[in-house]
Chains A and B, each alone.
Chain A
Amino acid sequence: MPPGGYFGRVLVADVTSGTSQDRALPDGVLRGYIGGCGLGTWLLWQLGTPGADPLGPAAPLAFVFSPLVGTSLTTSAKFAVVAKSPLTGMLTDALASSQFAIAGKLTGHDAIVIDGRAPELSVLLVDGDGIRLIGAAHLAGLSAADTDRHLRDELGRGWRVAAIGPAGERGVRYATISHDGRHAGRGGLGAVMGAKNLKAVGVRAGTKVATADPAAVLAAARDLRMRSFGPATAKYRELGTLANLLAFNAISALPTRNFQAATFDGAIELAGNVAGDVPGMRRVARSSCASCTIGCEHIYRSRGGKQARVEYENVFALGPMCGVSDPDAVLAASARCDELGIDTISAGGTIAWAMECAERGLVDAPWLRFGDSAALLRALDEIGGRSTPLGSLLAEGSRRASRTVGAGSASFASHVKGLEMPGYEPRTLHAMALGLAVNARGADHNRSGAYEADLSGDLDRLDGGDAHVAAAIETEDRAAVMDSLILCKFLRGVFSDPFTEWAGLLSAVTGWEVSGGELHETARRIVMAKRAYNIREGWQSADDWLPERLLNEPLTLPSGRVATLTGDRLRAMIGSYYNMRGLDPEGRPGPAAVADLGLA
């Protein structure tokens, strides 16, 4: 019998041949990696061919569930999509929330791993009876949302669909996988799926899963639900993450015009209806992910009447990052990204880089200017369709594009390891600077929440040192566990003793006697396994670094203080990070650490 919350097996589907096999997942692996991002890392190590092209048939694409999926614990209806990223060449793992998680797990598997390449554009269907491939020629070019609607009509009740848009079909390296309007957004997972000639994956529940102590799980769920209504989630519940925009602008942490500034004059235009009297977007509705009691999803309407779901990151990336302050344009650009199926952060970061190139005369696109709304929308269309040479260039992401353009443009390409930067200014958030530099996924704000330390008031955010390093490690460890259980990070503030409380949840579901200490070790193992995977795929020490602009161009704050993040300071923090993580000076784990990973 597998532990509670698990089936103890992974489905490996070969879409080249249309066949599949179940493989057992040992208890030790489940306990050591939990699920979600953790288990996905282990699976990728085991099932991936070292050095494989991320867009080739030998690169696996894993949909990974978790022991908490299907329980009544709030925010637990989440899954991870894990693959080798076509942007970074390293591991990428994106989380998403929807009924797809529950239906996918209740196919009777803790994960579904897809290998190969279908002979024609197809849909992979998985239920309790196994897999089958159906043709998807009639879905070609449709958005993920339209694909979902078509397939639900065709397949009938009970099917849940994860799909790609046209950008995924065309191999845009930051294409997304979407379902129920939610996106596994970062790292180009949609391109990986498109390269497998899969337009969609449909799943349907066919079984049930038991928990070890249903009464304890129910009690924990009630408690967590009540806590999810409290002040720790108020920001997300009442305003959504867009509330960050004005606050970050006020503290010079809002990347603007491709990181040429950290404040944006047009922020107020984009800030949403926080006081009822701002001129930009107005919030008109709120909704929740599946099995979530927080309800962070806020629907906004611009002055022009257009409605869209907006979050801080897409507004940052398509607004200040590109110098655009017109809320209509930002909403339209967000909606266009969803229709095309591309990651808003990478899209905004790549276009912002191109805007700067155009203004410097490095690319022949005189129409592409910071602040030009029409240019933003045109660039998105050209990227999503790969319809022009410029669109094809930008579809490769800012790192590859800057290598093609040359002329020093790499120095202002805002990415780490090839993944474009999120909306956190490293020069004024030094703990986050480290978190971004060393993260396995690249420039990522979800696997490292080090900004929490910067904004806590406990540290000087402009004077990074060992305390910042320790804080960054702690947030990385917490994220590793939350992303593997899986619980939404917007819940993180409700836990006063997180590892112990999470251990209690995991124990109730699985029947294991897990301690907070064990879970902390699990977190370190997951972080290390990601690093080990990246090393196997070619990671070098130089990949743990930040864009040169951030190290060479200080920012002056309104207070008069100058924010500098020099290469020396970053190097010192990275050195401390390696030391505290037990890595060698080059950032590689030693033999004992590797042995503990259980990857062999």
Chain B
Amino acid sequence: MGTPKAALEWHGSTLLGRTVRILARATSGPVVVVRALGQDLPELPDGTVLADDPHEGKGPVQGIAAGLAALTGRADVAFVSSTDMPFLHPAFVRLVVRVLEGDEGTDVALPVARGYKQPLAAAYRVSLAGAAARLVEEDRLRPAFLFDECRVETLDDAALKGHPLLAALDPDLDSVLNVNTPADYEAARARPAPEVTVQLFGTLAKGGNVSGPHVVRAATVGDAADAMAVAFDRHVTAALNGDQITRDPAMPLAAGDAVFFMSADAGG
């Protein structure tokens, strides 16, 4: 690629920054970024946990081992993602995590989407950290070795699309599309920002009939504010899908999101 994937730009965000924020949106626990020793990373949101990978070049199982180790004691289940999936949808993450959380007899929820196993878009029990580290020590570096040692529930296209919300929001399972070549990257950049719905409340809706839901294309909350000519300053907050509230303009949006802009001076 010529440029570290983490720092590649996609609709105003770095791929890593977008991925971290998507995972923060979709999960309740901390987000861990595993990096090579001394690796420069683009700006990340506050609260991101950095874990150093002491064995550079050992492949995905080493990264999984380091990430799970960093989460030991903080979470029971982790979604593991590569940094180069610009279309990763929170609904995809939630679904995969929920499958694992819902079955105590399973160690990995492994999507098999778009024809391939997706070990870097899968959910793992944090307790696998030791097994993964041992495999690295044994130089058995392919995820398949880890899967051989634990209980894996695969989620094929049908299983994934059988979930109505995911089928509506990510019908082609673009969540698992990654960027491996310059052509992939150019193709990803050529795709428009996600289509989202924006609604304004209170004084923001004054001065015209702009209050009702408006469909815009925006990759971040800040982009959505710009699209509606809203000054996203300290007097304004945004609620995503009526749920999480944010003041972060870099908060990523995904297809089907609803963004409510409202006064930060709430209450009465």
A251, A424, A460: most-surrounded residue (chain B CB, <10 A): A251
Residues of B within 8 A of A231 (CB): 233, 235
Q: Is the CB of A312 within 8 A of B245?
A: no
Q: Which residue of B lies closest to A458 (CB)?
A: B247
Asked whether A234 is an interface residue with its Cβ less than 8 Å from the other chain, the reply is: yes
Asked whether A250 is an interface residue with its Cβ less than 8 Å from the other chain, the reply is: yes
Q: Which of B206, B210, B239 contacts A238 (CB 8 A)?
A: B206
Asked whether A564 is an interface residue with its Cβ less than 8 Å from the other chain, the reply is: no
Q: Which residue of A lies closest to B240 (CB)?
A: A559
Interface hit among A38-46, A148-156, A449-457, A590-598: A449-457
Residues of A within 8 A of B244 (CB): 460
Q: Which of B199, B265, B268 contacts A313 (CB 8 A)?
A: B268
A250 to B258, CA, bound (A): 10
B202, B235, B262, B268: most-surrounded residue (chain A CB, <10 A): B268
Residues of A within 8 A of B268 (CB): 241, 244, 311-313, 445
Interface residues of A in 369-424 (CB under 8 A from B): 424
Residue interface mask B197-214, A partner, CB < 8 A = 1: 001011101101111100
Q: Is the CB of B203 within 8 A of A234?
A: yes
Interface residues of A in 230-273 (CB under 8 A from B): 231-236, 238-239, 241, 243-244, 246-247, 250-252
Q: What's the least CB distance linking A449 to chain B, in Å?
A: 6
Asked whether B246 is an interface residue with its Cβ less than 8 Å from the other chain, the reply is: yes
Asked whether A518 is an interface residue with its Cβ less than 8 Å from the other chain, the reply is: no
A561 to B91, CA, bound (A): 11
Q: What's the least CB distance linking A236 to chain B, in Å?
A: 8
Q: Is the CB of A559 within 8 A of B243?
A: yes
Q: Is the CB of A239 within 8 A of B203?
A: yes
Size bracket, chain B contacts: 35 or more
Residues of B within 8 A of A236 (CB): 265
Asked whether A275 is an interface residue with its Cβ less than 8 Å from the other chain, the reply is: yes
Asked whether A493 is an interface residue with its Cβ less than 8 Å from the other chain, the reply is: yes
Residues of B within 8 A of A449 (CB): 267
Q: Is the CB of B211 within 8 A of A244?
A: no
Q: Is the CB of A238 within 8 A of B203?
A: yes
Residues A250 and B260 in contact in the complex (CB < 8 Å), given A452-B266, A455-B245, A493-B265? yes
Q: Which residue of B lies closest to A496 (CB)?
A: B234
Asked whether B248 is an interface residue with its Cβ less than 8 Å from the other chain, the reply is: yes
Residue interface mask A454-493, B partner, CB < 8 A = 1: 1111101111000000000000000000000000000001
A561 to B240, CA, bound (A): 12
Q: Is the CB of A457 within 8 A of B237?
A: yes
Q: What's the least CB distance linking A292 to chain B, in Å?
A: 15
Asked whether B48 is an interface residue with its Cβ less than 8 Å from the other chain, the reply is: no
Q: Is the CB of A251 within 8 A of B211?
A: no
Q: What's the least CB distance linking A420 to chain B, in Å?
A: 16
Asked whether A277 is an interface residue with its Cβ less than 8 Å from the other chain, the reply is: yes
Q: List 25 A-B contacts (CB under 8 A).
A: A232-B265, A234-B263, A234-B265, A244-B202, A246-B201, A247-B260, A247-B263, A251-B242, A251-B245, A274-B206, A276-B208, A276-B209, A313-B268, A449-B267, A452-B266, A455-B266, A456-B237, A456-B245, A456-B247, A456-B264, A457-B237, A457-B238, A461-B245, A462-B243, A463-B28
List of 10 A-B pairs having minimum Cβ-Cβ separation, nearest first: A241-B268, A275-B211, A243-B202, A559-B243, A559-B241, A247-B201, A457-B247, A455-B266, A247-B262, A235-B263
- Interface residue ranges, B against A (CB under 8 Å): 28, 94, 165, 199, 201-203, 205-206, 208-212, 233, 235, 237-248, 260, 262-268
